[in-house]
Amino acid sequence: MRLHMPGLTAHGTRRHVVLSKCRLDSRWRTRMNMYKLFAFSMGIIFSTISESHAAFCMPADSNPATDGKNHYIASYPVNQALSLPININSEPNGKVFAVISLNPVIDNKRYSSIPARVVCSGFGRPSFSGFGVPDDRIYPSNVPGIGLRMSMEGIGTIPSDRPTLTNSYTIPEGEKSTITIDFIKTGPISTIFGEIQLAGPYMEMKIAGALAAQYVFSGVTLVPINPTCTLVSDSISVPLGTHPDTRFTGLGATTDKVPFSIQLSCSGGDPNTQIKPFVTLSGTTDTQVPSVLALTGSQVSGVGVEVLRNGAIQGFGAANGWQAGTISQGTANFQIDLEARYRQIRNTVSGGGSANALATFTIDYQ
């Protein structure tokens, strides 16, 4: 250290040094600052170590978990069906297509009337997050292409870290802890024609990294709102006429085709939505010619009944289903046109009387 002394006064042989101005050398001042910075950095390190020391949490003894878990499970005991537009895949990513609000209820606490509380082995800040890696606070769900953006009353948008440093925390539940979930398209959704079940945990609460509670889906279903159709008649009679046996001159001989149709009455659906009806015919077919229906309870032999669509012979069974067209929203009536006729399937035709066959049709919508 060097001292700069601008003022000196002499009295005999004794000299008094008057330090009217004194300043520290810059090198010493730099070292002092380094010591201060080092001490400050050490303080940050010590603070971080003490906060992350907690290794586990457990439900408080006053209201333990009934299933032996070291954390609570909260669900929503009311079933909810949400609209899933059938044209969702034509919407851009980021589109919010449904919103729900849930009042979570803890399922595995012993006493329903007492708040659930966890006690941890160390202090930490409670945090709330979803599962997976969020993109702009949108978490993936169990359904590819559907993301979740969540917020909780009193907590805010997830993820969220609470400012309070604690080792004991009441688990949020009930009407004062309503969870709002935005369902967002994040990519192609492969299953859009049937109901989609949301399942598994979607949010968790931790204290200093230790799991305290999980919030799980229960009874939440996404249902496409598309047109619906019903059969005008579930029984169709097709008279094929009366024919002499001389009409059948050899294998493959047929009678004239008789047209008939399956009539559908349709309604509902979101704007610009549509469905595709798929038809499957089934029935007892001939053992040698599986494309022909066998006669039932008849004295006639050597002939059967075949069904045609657009002039093409139709097969029977699930492997021979076909799309009957497209039904757009706003279509009130839809008709599936078919034809039927007798076909000779043996070398000779014998017997007389009624020659009836029975076919069943099943319509699935996609």
Residue 275 near residue 323 (C-beta atoms within 8 A): no
- Write down which residue in 172, 201, 223 finishes a domain: 223
* 159 and 200 belong to one structural domain: yes
> Is the pLDDT score of 81 beyond 70?
yes
Q: Helix (H, G, I), strand (E, B), or coil: what is residue 26?
A: helix
- Write down which residue in 203, 223, 243 finishes a domain: 223
37 found inside a domain: no
Sign of CA dihedral 210, 168, 179, 52: negative
- The 10s digit of each residue's pLDDT in 313-329 is 999 999 999 999 999 98
Residue ranges making up the domain that contains 177:
57-223
* 73 and 159 belong to one structural domain: yes
Domain count, the chain: 2
* 217 and 264 belong to one structural domain: no
Q: What is the pTM of this model?
A: 0.54
How does DSSP classify residue 50? H
* 346 and 237 belong to one structural domain: yes
What single-letter amino acid sits at 177? Answer: S
Q: What is the CATH number for 195?
A: 2.60.40
* 297 and 279 belong to one structural domain: yes
10 found inside a domain: no
Confidence of residue 120 (pLDDT cuts 50, 70, 90): confident
- The 10s digit of each residue's pLDDT in 176-218 is 999 999 999 999 987 665 678 888 999 999 988 889 999 999 8
Return left, alpha or beta for 335; rule: phi > 0 is left, psi -120 to 50 is alpha, else beta: beta
Q: Which region among 15-29, 129-143, 155-169, 179-193 has the lowest average model confidence (pLDDT)?
A: 15-29
Cα 105 from Cα 213, distance rounded (Å): 11
Per-residue model confidence (pLDDT) at position 176: 93
Q: Which region among 27-31, 125-129, 281-285 has the lowest average model confidence (pLDDT)?
A: 27-31
Of 151, 201, 154, 202, give the one whose Cα is nearest residue 176.
154
Per-residue model confidence (pLDDT) at position 190: 77
* 80 and 180 belong to one structural domain: yes
Of 90, 99, 108, 195, give the one whose Cα is nearest residue 147.
99
- Write down which residue in 168, 198, 223 finishes a domain: 223
What's the mean per-residue pLDDT of the chain? Answer: 83
* 164 and 306 belong to one structural domain: no
Q: What is the CATH number for 345?
A: 2.60.40.1090
* 336 and 201 belong to one structural domain: no
Return left, alpha or beta for 310; rule: phi > 0 is left, psi -120 to 50 is alpha, else beta: left
